[in-house]
Chains A and B, each alone.
Chain A
Amino acid sequence: MYTPQELRNITKELRTWIIEMITEAGSGHPGGSLSCIDILSVLWLNEMKEKDRFILSKGHAVPALYAVLSKMGLLAKEELKTLRKINSRLQGHPDRVRLPVLGASTGSMGQGLSVAQGIALGFKIDKKPDSVFCLIGDGESQEGQIWETALSAPKFKLSNLCVILDNNNGQIDGYVSDVMPIEPITDKWRSFGWHVLDIPGHDFEKIIKAFQDARQLKENGGTKPILIVARTIKGKGVSFMENQIDWHGIAPTKEVARKAVEEIEKNG
């Protein structure tokens, strides 16, 4: 178990890896990778047990996941340079056949959550104690399929399913609140029968606590699936990327990347 301060330092490094990886690839999605990296760090480095599964439903943020997997020793640091290159296991969007640890193949929004539900159901049939975690986007939450799972997981009493919503209010055509508002989001999920936690998404103490609460709910015989609404900032950690819609899906130049990395290293 890492302390919040240790996690903060590790995640700083992972942010620089994300920037370097995307810059080397020449394309990719910095905004949504930087908004979820704090959550992924806590989840993978502290919370997840060996047999738990994680599904990245918002697949375009996969550089964040590759960075964490590399930190965990599941991917060589050197391999991160192959992101998006021909014949690499590190595809632009998750490919579970090339890299089984990814758990699902995603990149078409709205699908990963259903797959996560299926794994959770499978665990339940086999009376396994393991959990399934799934990260979805707020733009992704406009897909009807998300709401089909929102409806079904409570019916199946999937308390072993913990979903995290990366609520960064950004998508491609603009702010989520303009493109197609999803608020009041906690009310919606609660009314569908989920246990909902609402946290600031870059506060390590709060993220750690939310996962502990989720685990306790499950261990105390809770029957509801859990949703953690993480209020995040798209592009978090690089001032000129923060809340800038244009940084959703472009790579920085080498020069701009150097500035970003300097800034991440200097700040926290």
Chain B
Amino acid sequence: MAKATRQAFGEAIARLGEKYPEIVILDADLSKSTKSDIFAKKFPDRFFEMGIAEANMIGTAAGLAFAGKLPFLCSFGCFLTGRYDTIRISAVYAQANIRLVGTHAGLGIGEDGHSQMGLEDVSLMRALPTMGVFQPMDSKETELIVKFLVEEWKGPAYLRLTRQTLPDLYPEGKVFEPCKLLSILENKNPKALLLGTGAGVSEAVGGAEMLSKQGISTCVWSAHALKPFDEKSLHSICHLFELVVTIEDHTVVGGLGTCVAEAFAKLNKHPPLLKLGVQDTFGESGTPAELFSKHGFSASEIVKNVKRFLNGSV
């Protein structure tokens, strides 16, 4: 069912808590927003309300990991990754097995504006050695990633989630392949590849449908892992397209677009790359739809951008 990915996370981790007693959750006065409150009600002894004190929460989580626990620590993405040096030293350098859960990703939160928006969190987390960076596109994929983070991933990881509801996109019956690009929409003789992550994937699907009505065929893929990034799959499919477009609700400096640019730099030949997302500017107040449109990565803006490129006016 269509849900916000934060909601899917809250439900998934509360379920996994039954089987894995080592899971503990810390939150910094946002448990109703991050949905860690579901776990808190079920396992009050394994939930720690830290108050508005994110740095203390991160260091404490590292300590809990060293004591054999598997801590998930939750807040808005901007406030967690804002405590960068604490993450960098106490958690990552020391190789604490912790899961940072940053909700309220991107412009998608709307009216609260820039200060509450995670807009550089992926770039910041990607820059840290060994850090895994994951972003699901819908509730099903969230469940799968949370399970993967509990059962398989070793070392620190960052999970980026939305405040807003995202439509169901995960292909029915598809076996989860962690850290692999996933095909969402295939079309014959495609001109462009629309590669999205998180909330960007549903915009890409919307854009692809509109383009198809105008006779322009595209394919949509999604990337749930920004680190490690699946360069191999990208290298094998990119030659099928005249254009590759990345779509992300995040700054284009260091996010998915940069992952693709880094992968392309290893090839002698590759299609041109159009990086849609927040274009190195600040977030602001507005409705999510207005903001996606103003910042150029709503479905209709994707259409405009692809057409402009294919018509050679770029």
Binding partners A and B: yes
Closest to B40 in A: A173
Give the distance in Å from the alpha carbon of A179 to the alpha carbon of B287 in the complex.
Answer: 31
Greatest chain A CB density within 10 A among B27, B50, B55, B285 is at B285
Q: Any chain A CB within 8 A of the CB of B51?
A: yes
Q: Are B30 and A173 in contact (CB under 8 A)?
A: yes
Q: Are A26 and B111 in contact (CB under 8 A)?
A: yes
Query: Quick one: CB contact mask for B33-77 with A, threshold 8 Å, 1 for yes?
Result: 100010000000000011111011000000000000000000000
Q: Given A91-B284, A172-B33, A173-B31, does the pair A139, B113 have CB atoms closer than 8 Å?
A: no
Chain A residues closer than 8 Å to B50, beta-carbon distance: 180
Closest to B110 in A: A27
Q: Are B291 and A95 in contact (CB under 8 A)?
A: no
Cross-chain contact of B294 among A86, A92, A140 (Cβ < 8 A): A86
Q: Given A26-B111, A92-B112, A179-B49, does the pair A108, B29 have CB atoms closer than 8 Å?
A: no
Q: Any chain A CB within 8 A of the CB of B183?
A: no
Q: Are B53 and A143 in contact (CB under 8 A)?
A: yes
Rounded to whole Å, the gap between the CB of B296 and the closest CB of chain A is 14
Query: Quick one: CB contact mask for A96-109 with B, threshold 8 Å, 1 for yes?
Result: 00000000011111
Cross-chain contact of B51 among A28, A95, A108, A139 (Cβ < 8 A): A139
Give the distance in Å from the alpha carbon of A86 to the alpha carbon of B287 in the complex.
Answer: 7
Give the distance in Å from the alpha carbon of A107 to the alpha carbon of B29 in the complex.
Answer: 14
Q: Are A27 and B111 in contact (CB under 8 A)?
A: yes
Rounded to whole Å, the gap between the CB of A188 and the closest CB of chain B is 15
Q: Are A86 and B49 in contact (CB under 8 A)?
A: no
Q: Are A140 and B52 in contact (CB under 8 A)?
A: yes
Q: Given A86-B286, A86-B291, does the pair A139, B111 have CB atoms closer than 8 Å?
A: no
Chain B residues closer than 8 Å to A91, beta-carbon distance: 113-114, 284-285
Query: Quick one: CB contact mask for A21-38 with B, threshold 8 Å, 1 for yes?
Result: 000011110000000000
Q: Any chain A CB within 8 A of the CB of B262?
A: no
Q: Are B53 and A108 in contact (CB under 8 A)?
A: no
Closest to A88 in B: B285
Q: Are A84 and B113 in contact (CB under 8 A)?
A: yes
Q: Any chain A CB within 8 A of the CB of B79?
A: yes
Chain A residues closer than 8 Å to B294, beta-carbon distance: 86
Chain B residues closer than 8 Å to A173, beta-carbon distance: 27, 29-32, 37, 49
Q: Any chain B CB within 8 A of the CB of A110?
A: yes
Q: Are B285 and A172 in contact (CB under 8 A)?
A: no
Rounded to whole Å, the gap between the CB of A245 and the closest CB of chain B is 9
Rounded to whole Å, the gap between the CB of A62 and the closest CB of chain B is 10
Q: Are B52 and A171 in contact (CB under 8 A)?
A: yes
Closest 9 CB pairs of A and B: A180-B51, A107-B115, A86-B286, A142-B51, A92-B113, A84-B111, A92-B112, A93-B115, A142-B52
Q: Report which A residues bind B (CB closer than 8 A).
A: 25-28, 59, 84-88, 90-93, 95, 105-110, 139-140, 142-144, 171-173, 179-180
Given A86-B290, A106-B115, 14 more contacts at CB 8 Å? Answer: A27-B110, A59-B115, A84-B112, A91-B114, A91-B285, A92-B111, A92-B285, A93-B112, A95-B114, A107-B116, A139-B51, A140-B52, A144-B56, A172-B29
27 contacts between A and B (CB under 8 A): A26-B111, A27-B110, A27-B112, A84-B111, A85-B286, A86-B285, A86-B290, A86-B291, A88-B285, A91-B114, A92-B111, A92-B285, A105-B115, A107-B113, A107-B114, A110-B52, A139-B51, A142-B29, A142-B51, A142-B53, A143-B53, A144-B55, A171-B51, A172-B32, A173-B30, A173-B37, A180-B53
